[in-house]
Structure 1
Amino acid sequence: MPNRSTDTLFQLIKSLEKSEKRNFKLYANRNSSGEELKIVQLFDALDKMEDYDEALLLRKNDTIKKQQLSNLKAHLYKQILSSLRLINDETNIDIQLNEQMDYARILYNKGLYLQSLKVLDKAKDLAKANNQFTYLEQILFFEKSIESLYITRSIQNRAEQLSKESVVVNNSLTLTSELSNLSLQLYSLYIQNGHSRNEKDDAAVQNFFVDNLGDKTSQCRYFYEKLYLYQSYCWNAFIRQDFLQYYRYTQKWVTLFEKEPYMISIETGHYIKGMHNLMGSHFDLANHKKLQVTLEQFAVFCNSEIVLKNVNNRILCFVYLTISTLNKHFLEGSFTEGLQLVPEIEAKIKEYEIYMDRHRILVFDYKIACLYFGSSDYEKAIDYLNKIINWKVDLRTDLQCYSRLLHLIAHYELGNDEILDSLIKSVYRFMAKMQNLSVVEEEIFKFIRKSFQLSVKTIKPELEKLLVKLKKLQDNRFETRAFIYLDIISWLESKLENIPVQDVLKRKFAGKRIN
Structure 2
Amino acid sequence: MTKDHKDNLFSLIKSLTKSEKRQFKLYVGRLDVNQDSKFLNLFNFLDKASSYDEGAILKTAIVKKQQLANVKAHLYKQILISLKLNPSHQNIRSQIREQLDFASILYHKGLYKQSLKILDKSKEVAIQNEEKNLAYEIVELEKIIESQYITRSISTRADELAIQAKELSSLNVIASKLSNLSLQLYSFILKTGYVKNETESKLVTDYFVEHLPKYNIQDLGFREKLWLYNANLWYAFLMQDFLNCFKYASKWVKLFREYPNMIQLNPVFFLKGHNYLLEALFYIQNKSKFQDALIQFQITTAEKRFPKDENVQALTFLYLNLNSINLYFIDGSFEDGLKIIPKIESELNHYLNRLDIHHRMIFYYKFASMHFGAGNNKDCIFYLNKIISNKSLLMREDLQCFARVLNLVAHYEAGLDYHIETLLRSTYKFLLKINDLYEVQKEMIKFIRGLQDIYPQDIKSAFIKLHQKLKVYEDHPYERRAFLYLDIISWLESKIENKPVGQIIRDKYQLKVAGL
Which TM-score tier does this pair reach, normalised by the shorter chain? Answer: over 0.9
* C-alpha distance in structure 2 between counterparts of 1:299 and 1:88, whole Å: 26
Alignment of 1:108-507 (within 5 A): 108-216=107-215, 221-305=220-304, 307=306, 309-392=308-391, 393-507=393-507
1:222, CA displacement in angstroms? 1.8
**Equivalent pair of 2:4/2:53 in contact (CA under 8 Å):** no
Contact 2:27 2:82 in 1 (8 A): yes
- Report the CA distance between 1:203 and its aligned residue: 0.9
Q: Distance in 2 between matches of 1:238 and 1:150?
A: 53
> Whole-Å Cα distance in 2 between the matches of residues 343 and 76 of structure 1?
39
Residue 146 of structure 1, CA deviation: 1.0
Deviation at 1:52, TM superposition (A): 2.0
1:400 to 1:409, Cα distance in 2 relative to 1, 3 A: same
The count of residues paired between Structure 1 and Structure 2 equals: 512
In the TM superposition, residue 7 of structure 1 has moved relative to its aligned partner by 0.7
Secondary structure of the corresponding residue to residue 480 of structure 2: helix
Q: Relative to 1, partners in 2 of residues 1:355 and 1:508: Cα closer, same or farther, differing over 3 Å? A: same
SS in 2 for 1:505: helix
The corresponding residue for 1:46 is 46
| Contact 1:372–1:378 under 8 Å retained in 2 | yes
Is this contact kept in 2: 1:408–1:423, CA < 8 A? yes
Q: Report the Cα offset of residue 344 of structure 1.
A: 2.2
Confirm or deny: 8 A CA contact 2:123 2:135 kept in the other structure: yes
Does the CA-based 8 Å contact 2:41-2:62 persist in structure 1? no
- Structure-1 separation of matches of 2:306 and 2:500: 39
More deviation in 107-116 or 372-381?
Answer: 107-116
- Give how far 1:367 is off: 0.9
Q: Is the 8 A contact 1:4 1:353 kept in 2?
A: no
**2-structure distance, mates of 1:221, 1:246:** 21
Distance 2:128 2:274 in 1: 24
* 2:31 corresponds to: 31
The whole-number CA distance in structure 2 between the counterparts of 1:405 and 1:217 is 46
**Mapped partners of 2:297, 2:307: distance in 1:** 13
Contact 1:307 1:314 in 2 (8 A): no
Which amino acid is 2:370 matched to? L
Q: Does structure 1 retain, via aligned residues, the 8 Å contact 2:43–2:75?
A: yes
Contact 2:201 2:239 in 1 (8 A): yes
Q: Shift in Å at residue 495 of structure 1?
A: 1.4
- Looking at structure 2, the residues matched to 107 and 32 of structure 1 have their Cα atoms a distance apart, in angstroms, of 31
Shift in alpha-carbon separation, 1:439–1:4, aligned structure 2, 3 A: farther
| Alignment of structure 1 residues 72-83 onto 2, 5 Å | 72-83=71-82
Note the aligned Cα RMSD (angstroms): 1.9
C-alpha separation in 2, matches of 1:498 and 1:389: 30
Are 2:34 and 2:40, in contact at CA under 8 Å, matched by a contact in 1? no
For residue 14 of structure 1, what is the aligned residue in structure 2? 14
With over 3 angstroms needed to count, the CA separation of the structure-2 counterparts of 1:220 and 1:364, relative to structure 1, is farther
Higher mean C-alpha displacement, 124-133 vs 302-311:
302-311
Quick one: distance in 2 between partners of 1:350 and 1:379?
Answer: 22
CA contact (8 A) 2:271 2:315 kept: yes
Question: How far has the Cα of 1:94 moved from its partner?
Answer: 0.6
Distance 2:493 2:343 in 1: 32
Shift of 1:170: 0.7
Paired with 1:118 and 1:245, the residues of 2 have a C-alpha distance of 47
> Could you tell me how far apart the structure 2 residues matched to 1:414 and 1:358 are?
28
Amino acid at match of 1:461: S
- What is the identity, as a one-letter code, of the residue corresponding to 2:130? N
Structure 2 distance, partners of 1:451, 1:220, is 62
Aligned to 2:419, the other structure's residue is in SS state: helix
Deviations 1:235-282 (A, max 9, x none): 111111111112111111221111111111111111111111111001
Q: Following the alignment from structure 1 to structure 2, what is the Cα–Cα distance between the partners of residues 304 and 44?
A: 35
CA deviation profile, 1:313-345 (whole Å, cap 9, x unmatched): 110110011111111111131222222222222
1:9 is matched by which residue type in structure 2? L
Give 1:14 shift: 1.1
Deviation at 1:308, TM superposition (A): 5.1
* 437 and 307 in structure 1: CA distance in 2 versus 1, 3 angstrom threshold: farther
Kindly state the Cα deviation for residue 309 of structure 1 after the two structures are TM-superposed: 2.7
Deviations 1:105-143 (A, max 9, x none): 233334332222122111111111111111111110111
Structure 1 pair 199/213, CA: closer, same or farther in 2 (3 Å)?
A: same
Bigger mean CA offset, 489-498 vs 392-401: 489-498
Residue type of the partner of 2:177? Answer: E
In structure 2, what is the equivalent of residue 56 of structure 1? 56
Could you tell me whether the CA contact under 8 Å between 1:90 and 1:96 is conserved in 2? no
Deviation (angstroms), 1:91: 6.1
**8 Å contact kept, 1:39–1:72:** yes
Aligned partners of 1:192 and 1:397 also within 8 Å: yes
Cα pair 2:185 2:235 within 8 Å, conserved: yes
Question: What per-residue deviation string (whole Å, max 9, x for no partner) do you get for residues 24-44 of structure 1?
Answer: 111122233368533232222
The 10-residue stretch of structure 1 (216-225 or 404-413) with the greater mean CA deviation from structure 2: 216-225
State the AA in 2 paired with 1:442: K
Match of 1:92 in 2: 91
User: Counterpart amino acid of 1:72?
Assistant: V
Superposed displacement of residue 506, structure 1: 2.6
CA contact (8 A) 1:4 1:354 kept: no
Matched, 1:107 2:106: yes
Distance 1:471 1:43, change over 3 A: same
Q: CA deviation at 1:390?
A: 1.0
Task: Please list the CA deviations of residues 44-63 of structure 1 after superposition, one character each: whole Å capped at 9, or x if unmatched.
Answer: 2212222322223434x233
Q: Which runs of 5+ in 2 are unaligned?
A: none
Aligned pair in 2 of structure 1 residues 39, 118: CA closer, same or farther (>3 Å)? same
With over 3 angstroms needed to count, the CA separation of the structure-2 counterparts of 1:88 and 1:432, relative to structure 1, is: same
Residues 34-43 or 404-413, more deviating: 34-43
Q: 320-329 or 439-448: which moved more?
A: 439-448
Percent identity of equivalent pairs: 44
Render the CA deviation track for 1:173-217: whole Å, top value 9, x for unaligned: 111111111111111111111110111111111111111115346
Cα distance in 1 for residues equivalent to 2:153 and 2:341: 65
Please give the TM-score of this superposition, normalised by the length of structure 2. Answer: 0.95
CA deviation string 1:465-487 (max 9, x = no partner) = 21122222211121222111001
